[in-house]
Copies of this chain bind each other. A is one copy, B any other.
């Protein structure tokens, strides 16, 4: 009895210098230093600023490094330098290809500069965005890229309180020096579609929208204004549901719309997948497109040019937005904070055969 407590006190206190490697089993800079017969600092220099080290030592370090399979710990470096080489990217959803395209642009641009995008998914809600941002900030990103401008007040405060540069995408800042922004005018894009349908001589022009995030709403607003301007707006022809968009939903909503308003002769669907579903429904019901019903989509997703007939839609510069956002962020992270504050990348109305 008596000695049951663990008392490792006498477990050979190890002569201060560990024999090799660390707790993780991986070689550390100190190991390489010993192996190369130099100090840790010299190893660090040999790796990060080779010009500061003699040819000969550089070679010895490289050799030892290779031999030990040394991988410098970014974590330790990040802690010591206060630069994580990491960029937080928050998007509403992973399965919406719109954001993936933006992400791809960001990734391609950041990667060559050694920055690692770290993705957070916000599920389209500002509250979740705030939560995710908070946890991500804990790992000290060097930059932040957010989707949209609809953040909670607390998020805005948070963003202002950190020294980290922030870029907002997919939308345009109302006043340009409030935030770094890269996108296009969702309102104008919706307006262009509305006007296009009007110009095609359509009189009963409807709207179908899903996934009612602020950007979708702005598109709808633009469309509405175009119709109002033409004196052809009928609020009852708007069908807006919160469900996330899909081909199936497009077909279903069109059916509903036609049941209530068989006289519509044109339709703006706020996303291409809805439009494809509508197109499918028309084919099944032998509704002539664009003869009896004109259809316009949004985003110019992959298959839009390959429907029958090819879909009129709005091409959005998703990839370019990602690239430009990353460039802006890179500039800001390097202290070059002078560039334009709000970049409008525009959009293109792709008039094809459904209108």
CA distance A107 to B139 in the complex (A): 18
**A315 to chain B: closest CB distance in Å?**
15
Quick check: A71 and B247 within 8 Å, CB to CB?
Answer: no
CA distance A116 to B89 in the complex (A): 12
A79: CB under 8 A from chain B?
yes
Number of copies: 2
A283: CB under 8 A from chain B?
yes
Interface pick from A197-205, A213-221, A302-310, A329-337: A302-310
Which residues of chain B are near A111, meaning CB under 8 Å? 121
Known contacts A107-B94, A119-B119: A139-B303 contact under CB 8 Å: no
**Considering the complex, which residues of chain A in the window 283-305 have a beta carbon less than 8 Å from any beta carbon of chain B?**
283-284, 302-303, 305
Which residues of chain B are near A251, meaning CB under 8 Å? 306
Known contacts A82-B23, A94-B107: A139-B101 contact under CB 8 Å: no
Known contacts A79-B76, A248-B306, A302-B273: A140-B94 contact under CB 8 Å: no
Which residues of chain B are near A107, meaning CB under 8 Å? 94, 119, 121
Chain A 93-107, CB within 8 Å of chain B: the 1/0 string?
011010011011001
**A317 to chain B: closest CB distance in Å?**
15
Interface residues on A, range: 35 or more
CA distance A104 to B123 in the complex (A): 12
CA distance A280 to B94 in the complex (A): 28
Which residues of chain B are near A306, meaning CB under 8 Å? 247-248, 251, 276-277, 280
Query: A97-B100, A116-B139 are known contacts; what are 18 more A-B pairs with Cβ within 8 Å?
Result: A23-B82, A26-B162, A71-B134, A71-B137, A73-B79, A73-B139, A74-B139, A75-B75, A75-B78, A75-B79, A75-B84, A75-B139, A76-B79, A94-B104, A107-B119, A119-B119, A273-B303, A308-B308
